[in-house]
């Protein structure tokens, strides 16, 4: 897809990957970039820094997503690229994760993507063109040691993106799904855990790979190229792959027990 003169929305755009995406679209000369976030203070800072438009929106609320789309329709006449990027790490573990914790991460990491697609795809179909870029994680492909909620929601986000691509990909709708390992953001400021096994990349590096994927209409965006190798191992021998992940889990447990971390 041609990014030049495109009208772009980036959720979770106040910092991290979202901010890097907004910067990248501006550099690629998109005609209008709107960043969306719940963090009003950071949103205002980024708006001033990037000289773009901004809107405080909670992606887990369907009515707010609808108001966001209406806002863009009134401002620019439509949306060409919708980056459904907002997400949270949530509460790690499993036994200590409450029902409310599960609901919270599910509404942001999955339902937010659903709301966006449900309300922006119809106008794209009517126009015959449009692009969705959903941020998931390598955890959605490979699981996340130590965090059931993150693993489950990111797998669901990936599955939704696949379904959208299969269903609408031949009707003018481009779809990419971003699945990085550790990226330098506020979420990883206290450490990336096992996600950092292949090193941490900058949010700007991540954004550049997204731009390339959109231009080439490539579905899977894996800034850490090792992820592709891991997927191949997983698909070729699932049981062996699980055994390897169990060994990684053991290392994770030993490390945290050694330093009495929780």
Q: Which of 24-28, 144-148, 193-197 has the highest mean pLDDT?
A: 24-28
Q: Is 245 exposed, middle or buried (0-12, 13-18, 19+ CB in 10 A)?
A: middle
Band (241; pLDDT cuts 50, 70, 90):
very high
pLDDT > 60? residue 231: yes
Q: In the chain, what are the domain boundaries?
A: 7-230
As a dihedral over the C-alpha atoms of residue 39, residue 19, residue 151, residue 148, rounded to 10 degrees, the angle is -30
Give me the residues paired with residue 130 across strands.
173
pLDDT at residue 252, as a whole number:
79
**Terminal CA-CA length for the chain:** 45
- Reduce the DSSP state of residue 134 to 3 states and report it: strand
pLDDT digits (tens, 9 = 90+) for 104-161: 999 999 999 999 999 999 999 999 999 999 999 999 999 999 999 999 999 999 999 9
Span 22-44, average pLDDT: 98
pLDDT bin (cut points 50, 70, 90) of residue 182 is confident
- The answer to whether 56 touches 37, Cβ cutoff 8 Å, is yes
Q: Which residues contact 43 (CB under 8 A, 6 or more apart)?
A: 13, 14, 35, 36, 37, 54, 55, 56
**CATH architecture observed for domain 7-230:** 3-Layer(aba) Sandwich (3.40)
Catalytic residue numbers?
A: 150
pLDDT of amino acid 109: 98
Average model confidence (pLDDT) across the chain:
93
pLDDT in tens, 67-114: 999 999 999 999 999 999 999 999 999 999 999 999 999 999 999 999
């Amino acid at each position: 897809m041609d990014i030049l003169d495109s009208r772009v929305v980036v959720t979770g755009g106040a910092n991290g990957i979202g901010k890097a995406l907004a910067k990248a679209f501006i550099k690629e000369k998109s005609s209008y970039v709107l960043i969306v976030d719940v963090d009003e203070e950071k949103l205002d800072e980024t708006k001033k820094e990037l000289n773009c438009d901004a809107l405080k929106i909670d992606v887990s609320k369907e009515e707010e997503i609808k108001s966001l789309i209406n806002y863009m329709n009134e401002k620019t006449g439509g949306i060409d690229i919708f980056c459904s990027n907002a997400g949270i790490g949530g509460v790690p573990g499993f036994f200590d994760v409450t029902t409310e914790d599960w609901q919270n991460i599910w509404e942001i990491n999955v339902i937010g993507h659903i709301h966006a697609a449900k309300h922006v795809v119809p106008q794209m179909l009517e126009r015959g063109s449009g692009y969705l870029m959903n941020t998931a994680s390598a955890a959605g492909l490979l699981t996340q040691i130590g965090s059931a909620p993150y693993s489950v929601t990111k797998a669901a986000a990936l599955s939704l993106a696949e379904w959208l691509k299969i269903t609408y990909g031949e009707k003018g709708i481009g779809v990419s799904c971003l699945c990085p390992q550790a990226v330098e953001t506020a979420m990883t400021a206290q450490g990336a855990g096992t996600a950092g096994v292949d090193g941490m990349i900058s949010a700007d590096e991540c954004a550049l790979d997204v731009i390339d994927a959109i231009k080439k209409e490539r579905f899977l965006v894996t800034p850490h190229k090792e992820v592709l190798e891991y997927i191949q191992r997983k698909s070729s021998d699932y049981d062996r792959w699980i055994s390897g992940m169990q060994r990684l889990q053991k290392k994770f447990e030993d490390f945290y027990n050694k330093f009495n971390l929780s």
